[in-house]
Structure 1
């Protein structure tokens, strides 16, 4: 194992990695330890009480963070005619149909979110093997297959975050930047945790949110008591 750098060594000495902290204290420590020469992303990892191999225990959804993510989203929309104009007016970066399919098939995929009207899904379906592994395939469950393309674009640009449990029952999401005010990060994490809790499938055990860890791009993971997040008013 490579030796720890001075920054991480100093941070590790100031944090008890076995201790479970309050959300407020965890965020404070994350911000205090962030010394990278860029604005690090604050990230949350949530471990769930589920068996994601079962088709009835798939957890997936979308939540609009009240304070945004601090990240500029590049949004593409599959739409035609009036809906294409709506998407453009709402701020979509790219709007198209067959031409957008060709662009993606060529490997030009600089998009963070792809939205499609329902009538375009026959066309978009050709791209499943390309977009699926990247988590970009439009899906009605997360609001990216919709005729209300204007709202979908505004939500994406405004800081909505998609979440999906991985095979191990883990959800990872970026919830802001370390430069955000502490309360703004706290509000974003609470919004994410509550959205995940609301997506709980029937038949899963309690507590549904088993463990929560907060970290930054270059920082250490700080454990947080999930129950304290869900009970914050």
Structure 2
């Protein structure tokens, strides 16, 4: 018999059917923490089929306590907007030169932002940025004349959520080194935003299961009574 991993050993000792409060889940994850600062993640199983446009769930939410992650941001802008983006902390700012750089495979960014006048250039990167979920989108606030604020939001803890084919949203809400209150605040901000983003085509129960986990920890089912509007 193959030797179980540490994670498998932990899972084997837990009650798979138990519903945890957020406090209990965080305490359990801390009991089994690894030697590095793990990311705390939320998985929400939703009653939607994202193959249908009226059941797509996607949006942005600012996590009040930040993510604990250094977010790399690229901005397509010129002139004053380019200077504002750099001053706000953008990692890379450009126009045609940035497009060529990305076409050559330099895509080590977490967020790509563009001013509306640059979309003619950005549009040529659809096949490059699209599959990575990096294509600027006006509905998400990543196509905007206010690039300064967009960069600050991205650097300050704003995250994108998007439902996957299986009807699940995955998102990090911080690091295990965060205080419980900070993780709980971020958890509430994320789940509230996803509940608020319920699409018109969703039928039946919308939030079906919520799991809280860490990079190396077990997946713990959260009591849906902890989720407002679920």
**TM-score, L = length of structure 2:** 0.95
Distance 1:15 1:182 in 2: 21
Q: Gaps (5+ residues) in structure 2?
A: none
What is aligned with 2:66? 68
Alignment check: 8 A CA contact 1:87 1:153 kept: yes
What is aligned with 2:121? 123
What is aligned with 2:136? 138
CA 1:226 to 1:206, structure 2 compared with 1: closer, same or farther past 3 Å? farther
Instruction: Give the 5 Å matches for 1:10-159.
Output: 10-35=9-34, 37-159=35-157
Distance 2:2 2:140 in 1: 40
Q: What's the CA shift for 1:195?
A: 0.3
Q: Which runs of at least 4 in structure 1 moved beyond 2 Å after TM superposition?
A: 7-15
Alignment check: 8 A CA contact 1:23 1:229 kept: no
- CA-based RMSD of the aligned residues comes to 1.6
Distance 1:51 1:188 in 2: 26
What is aligned with 2:159? 161
CA 1:2 to 1:216, structure 2 compared with 1: closer, same or farther past 3 Å? farther
Q: What's the CA shift for 1:160?
A: 0.6
Q: Deviations over 1:151-178 (max 9, x none)?
A: 1000000011100011111100011001
Q: What's the CA shift for 1:206?
A: 4.6
Number of equivalences: 230
**TM-score, L = length of structure 1:** 0.94
Q: 1:225 aligns with which of 213, 223, 226?
A: 223
Instruction: Give the 5 Å matches for 1:150-189.
Output: 150-189=148-187
